[in-house]
Structure 1
């Protein structure tokens, strides 16, 4: 009996010590306070191959045309995939990253992870990669940032 008590006490002390020394990384994703936008870091081999996926439940407005008829056979225009070093791509998805348990990125707060930066505001979310390329998303509108028009 005493051996069991000593073992339990020792195991408990080790777990408590491990938890107190653990460092917690930034969450790999977030949702906006409205619950309309969800973003998640898609990790690659390193930060240069990471991507950021952001979905908007209300869809992109206005919905952009597909590059050609039949291009996307799934849900077109539900958000963006932002690669680490290039321009955002409009999502054509058959799944979702929307998770009600994701951390909330409060209005006025900034999320930095994997080479991406997102700022949450009441008017929408702005996300950029290390090149300064990115997008703005809101219920009413969207736009691509950091791309020069020819």
Structure 2
């Protein structure tokens, strides 16, 4: 008799996905490079290795401290937001995979926005799979968590912090903001 025996199949799947998302977030937090390694000012053309300066404020804004996870209606992009930042994963893209300093693994599928700025993440564990059956963020809708806002559009997802620093991610291209 396992501890999940009395729960419905749907609840068991929900709990399993929740546990996997927490583990993924912990792994990302452990493996992400810490700030301060970028030399000089950022180049005029955005590069995934350049980390934009963080907003001067705190992330201690009123509101929920829980994570919010969603998929875009296309099913190609999934994001998870928390007061600490945003992580978005894109299943399929046609842009040239960006280089991540010190990374020998694939890149281009995972982006992160937090107090250290916007950057692509080294995919040391291989190309990540998008979790199934998450809430959908309809085109034209937006979600806010802490100091971060993500908006869903037919042209992809746009996520920014309170200072307007962030990214736009779509199948054909990515753009660092502002």
Scaled by the length of structure 2, the TM-score of the pair is: 0.56
Specify whether residues 65 and 27 from structure 1 end up closer, same or farther in structure 2 by C-alpha distance, changes over 3 A only: closer
Structure 1: runs of 5+ lacking an equivalent: 1-24
Deviations 1:84-126 (A, max 9, x none): x342011112274721221100101011113210111111110
Is the Cα–Cα contact under 8 Å of residues 59 and 79 in structure 1 kept in the other structure? no
- Of residues 103, 111, 114 in structure 1, which corresponds to 2:146? 114
Q: Does 1:76 align with 2:107?
A: yes
Paired residues for 1:75-94 under 5 Å: 75-83=106-114, 85-93=115-123, 94=125
SS at match of 1:88: strand
- Of residues 139, 142, 145 in structure 1, which corresponds to 2:171? 139
Query: Residue 61 of structure 1: CA displacement?
Result: 1.2
Instruction: Supply the distance in 2 between the matched residues of 1:76 and 1:134 (Cα, whole angstroms).
Output: 18
Deviations 1:4-38 (A, max 9, x none): xxxxxxxxxxxxxxxxxxxxx68611110011101
SS at match of 1:40: strand
Structure 2: runs of 5+ lacking an equivalent: 1-63
Is the Cα–Cα contact under 8 Å of residues 60 and 78 in structure 1 kept in the other structure? no
SS at match of 1:112: strand
Larger C-alpha radius of gyration, 1 or 2? 1
Q: CA RMSD in A?
A: 2.1
- Of residues 29, 40, 44 in structure 1, which corresponds to 2:69? 29
Query: Residue 65 of structure 1: CA displacement?
Result: 2.8
Paired residues for 1:53-64 under 5 Å: 53-59=87-93, 61-64=95-98
Question: Partner residue of 2:134?
Answer: 102
Scaled by the length of structure 1, the TM-score of the pair is: 0.66
Query: Residue 60 of structure 1: CA displacement?
Result: 6.6
Greater percentage in strand: 1
